[in-house]
Amino acid sequence: MKNNNEINHRQNSEEILSYLFTQRKLYSISKKVVIYLLVLNLIFYFLGLSDSIQSNNRFKVIYVFWGLIFSILYIRESNRINTAATMQELIDRKLYGFDVNTPFIKNSYLHQVVLNTKAKFPKEYEHQVSHNGKEGGVKDWYSDVSGLPLEKAIILCQIENCEWEIKLRKHFQILNILLFILMIAIYVITYWNNSLETLVIKLYPILTIVADRLGYIYKNSNNISGSKSINDYLYQIYDDIERYDKEDIINNSKEIQHCIYERRKNFAPIPDAFYNLYRDKYQSFSNQYIFDLKKKLQNLS
C-alpha cells in the first residue's frame, strides 16, 4: 500500500488558499453582523426597561419595523453562512479527491465570490495566505497527515475538524446561556410588582433578543451534539481501522463529510475575539493530538 497523500501539499496551493481565505472572510463578516444585531437588540432591551419609553407609541412603531429588519438581516446572514459552508465543503472535497460536480456546489458562483473577496480585501488576503493558523492565517489548514494513505488521512482531518467545533462551542455556549438567563431575570425583577398580565405585555421589547439568543443557543447546541455524533463515529472507524479496506473507509468518510456539511450550514457564528482568545491553545492541542493519532496509525502499518 502506498503510504502517501497530498492533503498537506494541496491545502497550500494558491487555489485552496484563496477559497480558505474567502470562506473565513464570509464567516467573519457574518460574525460582525450578528454582533451588530445583538447590540441593537440590547439597546431596545434596555430602552424597554423604562415605563415611559415602553408606553410611547413611536417606540412601538420603531420596534415593529426593527423586528422586520432584524428578520430580513438574519435571513441574509444565513445565506452568507450557507455560501461559506458550501465553500468549505468544496475545499474538503478537492483535498480528499471527492466529486465536486454536485448540484449544491455551484463552482462558477463560488469562484466569482472568491475573486470579488480577494479584490475587496487584498491586504488581508496577502497576510492570511502567507501565514499559518497560529499566525492568524490559513496556511497549513489541517495538521500534518503526511505519510498516511489518503483514506486514513481523511479520517484524521475530519476528526480534527470536529474537535475544534466541540471545544470552542462548549465554552461559548455557557456564556450565551448565562447572558440569556441574566436578561430574563433583570426584566422580570424590574416589572415584578406588576400584575401577570402587565408583566407579559411589558415583555414585548425583548422579543427580538430572546428569539435571537434562543435561536443561537439552539443552533449551537445542535452543532455541539452533531459534532459529538460525527466524532463518535469517526473514532469507531479509527479504533477498528484495520478491519476496513480502503473502499470502506472512503465510503464512510463520504457519508461523514455530508454530515459535516449539514452541520456547517447550521453554523452559529462565534465572535472572532472569542475565537482568537483560544486559537493558540486549541491549535497547539490539535496539532499534537493529530500527531499522536497519526503515530498510532503508522505503528499499525
Q: Is 90 exceeded by the pLDDT of residue 193?
A: no
pLDDT in tens, 136-164: 899 999 999 999 999 999 999 999 988 77
Q: Is 50 exceeded by the pLDDT of residue 251?
A: yes
| Rounded mean pLDDT, 77-102 | 94
Per the CB < 8 A criterion, the answer to whether 239 and 297 are in contact is no
Cell numbers representing residue 92 in the block: 474538503
Read off the pTM.
0.86
Q: Is 90 exceeded by the pLDDT of residue 190?
A: no
| Rounded mean pLDDT, 107-126 | 95
> Looking at the domain assignment, is residue 103 inside a domain?
yes
> Looking at the domain assignment, is residue 288 inside a domain?
yes
User: Which residue, chain included where needed, has cell 411589558?
Assistant: 202
> Looking at the domain assignment, is residue 123 inside a domain?
yes
Q: Would you tell me how many other CB atoms lie within 10 Å of the CB of residue 71? A: 12
Number of domains the chain is built from: 1
> Looking at the domain assignment, is residue 98 inside a domain?
yes
Three-class secondary structure of residue 139 per DSSP? strand
The predicted structure's pLDDT at residue 98: 95
The predicted structure's pLDDT at residue 170: 87
Q: Name beta bridge partners: 132.
A: 139
1 — pLDDT class (breaks 50, 70, 90) = very low
pLDDT in tens, 20-68: 999 999 999 999 998 999 999 999 999 988 888 988 999 999 999 999 9
The predicted structure's pLDDT at residue 112: 96
Burial of residue 199, with CB atoms counted within 10 A of its CB: 0-12 exposed, 13-18 middle, 19 or more buried: middle
Per the CB < 8 A criterion, the answer to whether 242 and 100 are in contact is no
> Looking at the domain assignment, is residue 138 inside a domain?
no
> Looking at the domain assignment, is residue 120 inside a domain?
yes
The predicted structure's pLDDT at residue 134: 77
The type of residue at 1 is M
CA dist., res. 140 & res. 20, Å (int): 11
CA dist., res. 228 & res. 223, Å (int): 8
- DSSP string for 219-263: HHHHHHHHHHHHHHHHHHHHHTGGGS-HHHHHHHHHHHHHHHHHH
> Looking at the domain assignment, is residue 185 inside a domain?
yes
> Looking at the domain assignment, is residue 233 inside a domain?
yes
Residue 250 domain boundaries: 7-127+147-300
Angle between helices 207-239 and 150-190 (to 10 degrees): 150
Distances (CA, A) of 140 to 17, 196, 271: 9, 57, 22
